[in-house]
Structure 1
Amino acid sequence: MSVVHDYVNAIVRRRREPMEPIGFEPDWADKPRRHKVYREATRFPLPDPPDAPDGENATLDAALRPGPGGEGFSLGTLSRLLRDSYGLLGRRLGVQANSDEQLLPQYRSAVWWRGTASGGGMYPAEIYWVTGSRGPMLPGVYYYSAPHHAMQRLLAGDVVDQVRAALGPDGSVPTDQFLLVSLKFWTNAFKYNSFCYHVVTMDIGTLLGTWQMTSRSQGVSLRPILNFDELALNRLLGLTSHAESVFAVVPLPWDAPDTLPEPMAAEPTSPEPAPVAEVNRPRVHLQEEERSRRVIRFPQVEEVHAEILAADRPRPTAADLAAAIPAPPPHPAAERLALPDPAPLRASVPEALRGRRSSFGRFSAHRPLTRAELSALLIAGTAGGRLVSDVKDESGGPGLTRLAVFTNHVEGIARGGYDYDPTRHELGVVTPGDPALFLQRNYFLPNYNLEQVAAVLVVLARPEAVLEVAGPRGYRFVNAEVGAVAQAVYTASAALDIGCGAALGFDNVSYAERLGIEGTGEWPLLILMVGRERPGEPNIDHRIA
């Protein structure tokens, strides 16, 4: 048994066997920022993004499916990718059922929302841009400052060779523009302690899922790389690996010769030649300014991360991962229910991202979900979860997740639990009967009334099977796909003008028992609640972008 294997088992059983540290309470007065601050770094505001593309090919429906992508990025399209995914889009202040509602009117406790969902709203992902000589800026390393929608120069000098070396065989891609996505654990761990690693690895999936749909809507195909020399890129960025680490590298196909204006301050104007010696290679020396006076380290998180970093195993292929596909069990014809054509998702990707939010207790059963709407959500969740990457094929297969659903208030569908079969586009009856009491009893928090929810989508996977074929790093592959499913369902819900809320706080074992998969190695890893919201709820939706 590996450390990662033990961690996965602790995660799915944590409702019955609490994880260490037991009794931990967050110090909210000493919480970290939701973004990094480099006070000494020069800031370059990004240009206003171009108008979003329109037409049938730019709808969310089209963006959730693979398509031709012969275009390249420009500075404007990069600006849209970053702003619509992780930039601050506005401030929300509405009546909801979270315990922090009374604090939200205070500016220090304001909720600044983004297009991409994040576990607990913590936003632990950090984005760096490495640009070479063919880019629009002086070659170097830049940090994306989300609150300012700007780039901050951390290092002047062409270090693309270091990125290529860290990527190994993937370093031969025909571009010298790369986005590096790291996770800063403390941003999430201050609240979720040892549970943090499970949450933040899904955050990578929500962000990559957003980039996948955004780039497709702009005619660009992205292929994130999840297997690389992580420690080498951490050294380049000046990161301490147990605290923050690079989890994904995204090569950017680049077309346009546009540029950002240089500031008036004197700065290096030519790249510093890279010394041959590894220890003397250029790297970022600027350090962020941490807000928390006390940063706590959690041994379980660091042990899991250390084992993944140390894993020396060949990268799995799509064929290898096919052995870990979670397939819905067969159901007799009498227990299968054909679903209708889905309701169309005609909203553009930017519109869907701006409409995305968590419902937090606003659900109401006053009007049920239609079968076509449920059909659209199941298709979107399945399609959006197929993340294209270096371990997947061009369509994002094989899928490491599947969906089940509990229905409460869906027109024409009896209450109960069902498997979703995407190949047949059918539901298979698993457990008939009203699930409302089961759903509420097995949810940890008081901020949702699950009887009022129209349906609960359950994201299922076989994490242990993935670990067998991919090694410890396979845990990240699974959770990234779970996160991408969540982002797809969130945006599809926004396009349909219905509510959505994601939750990790449920009894995984009870759900496995209810769905009849106990002992199979398949586990429910996330629930997504969908349905109508109460009409006429007071809300302030102040958009800044």
Structure 2
Amino acid sequence: MNLKSFLHDLQFDPDKVKPPDWETNWDDAPLPYKLYRRLPGMPLPADVPLTLAGKETPGKPNVRNVGHFLWYVYGLAQVSQSVFVPDRMEEPAGPVHLYRRFAPSGGGLYPNEMYIYLKLEDLPAGVYHYDAAHHRLVLLREGHFDSYLGKALGNRCDLADCFGVVLVTSMFWKNFFKYNNFSYRLQGLDAGVLLGQLLEVSKRFGFEPCVYFQFVDRAVNHLLGLSEQEESVYAVIPLSAEPKTNWFANLDESESGGKLSAPELCKELEAVRHDHYVRSMNVVDYPMLIKLNEASMQNSAGMFRPLEREEGGGTRKRDAVKLPAADRLSYDLAAVSRMRFSPETNFVLRQVSLLDLAALLQETTASFSYRNDLDGTERNAAARVSLYGCFYGVEGIDDGAYRYDAAAHALEPVRPGDCRSWLQYGMSLHNLNLFQIPLCFHVAADRNHLGPQLGYRGYRIQQMEAGMLVQRLLLAAFALGMGGHPLLGYDAKSADELYGLASDGKTALIQIPVGPYRARSRLEGGLSQ
């Protein structure tokens, strides 16, 4: 199968990308976190703040506040225990222990890892892995790497103004063992959800981030000492405490360092290989993931491409429903993050007010604005991914399917009537009763996955941006007292037909039921002091 056909099936016919006889070997499952062995570790302060109510005044970054930042982004936050009820009588029932993080992950498998290059006064400068299992930093390379990382980014960012650089990777086996080739779709979405949490946490700590989706892949992998058969960097996020950092030098061209190829850049650093533990004894091959990763790589800064600005609204329909004005939500991110879980069977049908729906939509899209190297200073991500939704029983509007026009703060009717039967019929895994859920959102984007501009790299960027929007939607929903459950177990063709997306060249990337919920039965405890 060629890569283009594979990505098409991944979206529209996922059964084709997974062997019909594939069975998950849970007894040989990998750990949901990476453990390096025989490397120096730095424990991080465990007395994390219990509230993140507002933006802090930027102070001098140090090990303490950087450690708190990392924990709220991707640390092990809660342990919960529930009861597994098997489908077959011969299988024993038993307790299920889960270690949760604040950002959700498909199947709770967390295929992404976080690394960070730090330059702090109270820590040796160098490249570290964030060991979530022990809330510590593991030193991979000691030294200053501003020049090297700057070249890998095409000298577009003045790293002298940055105290750190986060690198988010995807570790292929961590969810391939369960989902097979379908894991490629999940890895990008999961990385995006992590980035969404990182950007929201950054605001609370007064840090200034910028997301770079384009970089010299093999150079940054070489810096971390990664085997590209196991793991690869998906996004690079410099962090600054200075609001006037120059993020976008040479954005439209790569004159400085643009001709430096990955092999030439890698020669500047000695290769390193570090021993790590994954637990699985039998790791099977995943050739399609390797081929896609290689096809997505950029071998020099001369391959970087900014995206042309597109208008996100289009022509407004005359019958659009103008939503009531809503103030931006003010909430404690720490409390909302602790509340967040995927309700699944715990949704309850209650009426949602039009004001709550308006606040949910406005907060989700307003918080989605972020710095990135695709848009530069324009922050135009909303033109690439948009929100559609099917609403039932919302006070003040007719039941039906709508498109949200963020610029006008209005709902454009797409299909009238109760759409819950359509949605339920389109579920491939009937783990939710959509008749109990008043709001069901879909994140939609270009069916070509930015391929004409960015090639195969465009697919994973699109999935990441969809994940970032999903995390904003989840945070806003829980801040309003509702829950959300992202899922991919739906028929994309059916969802596209519901909204008429194909005629606009779009497709539904992920489905997120949202609504009131009841607490579920489980034992739960926080992992903070």
Which residue pairs with 1:322 in the alignment?
309
- The answer to whether structure 1 residue 245 and structure 2 residue 232 are counterparts is yes
Match of 2:287 among 295, 299, 318: 299
Aligned to 1:6: 5
Whether the aligned pair in 2 keeps the contact of 1:369 and 1:409 (CA below 8 Å) is: yes
Q: Which amino acid aligns with 1:396?
A: R
Which is further off, 153-162 or 523-532?
153-162
Partner of residue 164, structure 1 = 150
Please show how residues 139-538 of structure 1 align to structure 2 within 5 Å: 139-170=125-156, 172-174=158-160, 175=162, 177-253=164-240, 279=267, 281-309=269-297, 314-317=303-306, 320-323=307-310, 327=313, 330-333=316-319, 336-342=320-326, 345-365=329-349, 367-394=350-377, 396-399=379-382, 400-464=384-448, 466-534=450-518, 537-538=520-521
The structural deviation recorded for 1:500 is 0.9
Larger displacement relative to structure 2 (171-180 or 423-432): 171-180
Shift of 1:409: 3.1
Judge conservation of contact 2:298–2:304 (CA < 8 Å) in 1: no
- Distance apart, 1:113 and its partner CA: 1.0
Tell me the distance in 2 between the aligned counterparts of 1:121 and 1:43.
26
Q: CA deviation at 1:438?
A: 0.8
Opposite residue 314 of structure 1, the aligned amino acid is M
Shift of 1:530: 0.6
Distance 1:378 1:321 in 2: 26
Q: Is the 8 A contact 1:463 1:478 kept in 2?
A: no
The Cα shift of 1:290 comes to 2.3
Partner Cα distance (1:99, 1:426) in 2: 44
Q: How far is 1:522 from its partner? A: 0.3
Secondary structure, counterpart of 1:18 in structure 2: helix
Q: Give how far 1:193 is off.
A: 1.0
Q: CA deviation at 1:451?
A: 0.7
Query: Is the 8 Å Cα contact of residues 337 and 427 (structure 1) preserved in structure 2?
Result: yes
Q: Which amino acid letter does the alignment assign opposite residue 542 of structure 1?
A: G
Moved more, 417-426 or 347-356: 347-356
- Partner residue in 2 for 1:86: 74
Q: CA-to-partner distance for each residue in 1:455-497, whole Å, 9 max, x for gaps? A: 1011000141622123322222211110011111111122112
Q: SS of the residue aligned with 2:196? A: helix
How large is the Cα RMSD of the aligned pairs?
A: 2.9
1:87 Cα deviation from its structure 2 partner = 0.5
Question: Aligned to 2:40, which of 6, 17, 42?
Answer: 42
Deviation at residue 432 of structure 1 after TM alignment: 0.8
In the alignment, what sits opposite 1:542? 525
Q: What is the CA-CA distance between 1:143 and the residue it aligns to?
A: 1.3
Aligned to 1:273: none
Provide the C-alpha distance between the structure 2 equivalents of 1:139 and 1:85, rounded to a whole number of angstroms: 21
Alpha-carbon contact 2:209-2:239 (below 8 Å) kept: yes
In structure 2, distance between residues paired with 1:77 and 1:104: 42
Q: Deviations over 1:338-382 (max 9, x none)?
A: 2123376332222221111111111111x2122122112212332
Residue 32 of structure 1 is aligned with which of 30, 33, 41? Answer: 30
Amino acid at match of 1:457: F
CA 135–128 in structure 1, closer or farther in 2 if over 3 Å, else same: farther
CA contact (8 A) 2:54 2:332 kept: no
**CA distance in structure 1 between the partners assigned to 2:299 and 2:526 by the alignment:** 44
Q: In structure 2, how many angstroms separate the alpha carbons of the residues matched to 1:84 and 1:104?
A: 33
Structure 1 residues 54, 199: closer, same or farther in 2, change over 3 A?
A: closer
Identify the range of structure 1 (455-464 vs 216-225) with the bigger mean alpha-carbon deviation: 216-225
The one-letter amino acid of 1:438's match is W
Q: Distance in 1 between matches of 2:172 and 2:186?
A: 10
Inter-partner Cα distance in structure 2 for 1:351 and 1:192? 32
Letter in 2 for 1:126: E
Partner Cα distance (1:176, 1:165) in 2 = 17
Task: Tell me by how many angstroms 1:27 deviates.
Answer: 1.2
Q: For the residues of structure 1 that align with 2:312 and 2:427, how far apart are their CA atoms?
A: 24
- Give 1:153 shift: 1.9
CA 544–215 in structure 1, closer or farther in 2 if over 3 Å, else same: same
Task: Provide the residue aligned with 2:246 in structure 1.
Answer: none
CA shift digits 1:488-519 (9 cap, x unpaired):
11111221121110011111111111111224
* Letter in structure 2 aligned against 1:178: V
For the residue of structure 1 that corresponds to 2:188, the secondary structure is helix
The secondary structure found in structure 1 opposite 2:501 is: coil
Contact 1:242 1:305 in 2 (8 A): no
1:271 is matched with none
Shift of 1:171: 5.2
Q: Which runs of 5+ in 1 are unaligned?
A: 59-68, 256-275
Matches of 1:146 and 1:361, distance apart in 2: 29
1:279 to 1:221, Cα distance in 2 relative to 1, 3 A: closer
After superposition, the Cα gap between the structure-2 partners of 1:541 and 1:75, relative to the gap in structure 1 and judged at 3 Å, is same
Secondary structure of 1:29's counterpart equals: helix
Query: Per the alignment, do residues 349 and 531 of structure 1 end up closer, same or farther by CA in structure 2, a change over 3 Å counting?
Result: same
Higher relative contact order (CA 8 A, sep 6+): 1
Judged with a 3 Å threshold, the aligned counterparts in structure 2 of structure 1 residues 385 and 196 are, in CA distance, closer, same or farther, namely farther
Gaps spanning 5+ residues in structure 2: where?
Answer: 243-263
Change in 2 beyond 3 A, CA 1:465/1:113? closer
Change (3 A) 1:3 1:352: farther
- Give, as a single letter, the amino acid of the residue that structure 1 aligns with 2:67: S
Deviation at 1:541, TM superposition (A): 2.5
Instruction: Give the residue type in structure 1 aligned to 2:19.
Output: P
Quick one: which amino acid aligns to residue 176 of structure 2? Answer: A
- Could you tell me how far apart the structure 2 residues matched to 1:97 and 1:412 are? 41
CA distances 1:261-315 after superposition (whole Å, capped 9, x unpaired): xxxxxxxxxxxxxxx9955833432221121111122222222111111577632
Return the offset for 1:41: 2.0
Q: Are the aligned partners of 1:202 and 1:483 in contact in 2 as well (CA < 8 Å)? A: yes
Instruction: State the Cα deviation string for residues 93-137 of structure 1 (Å, max 9, x = none).
Output: 35799979x99963xx411111112222211111112234x5432
TM-score, normalization by structure 2: 0.87
Over residues 47-78 of structure 1, what are the superposed CA-to-partner deviations in whole Å (9 max), with x where a residue is unaligned? 246647766657xxxxxxxxxx9655332221
Q: How far 1:180 sits from its partner (Å)?
A: 1.7
Amino acid at match of 1:448: L
Q: 1:51 to 1:98 in 2, by over 3 A?
A: farther
Contact 2:211 2:235 in 1 (8 A): yes
SS of 2:440 mapped into structure 1: strand
- Matched residue count: 502
Whether 1:118 aligns to 2:110 is: no
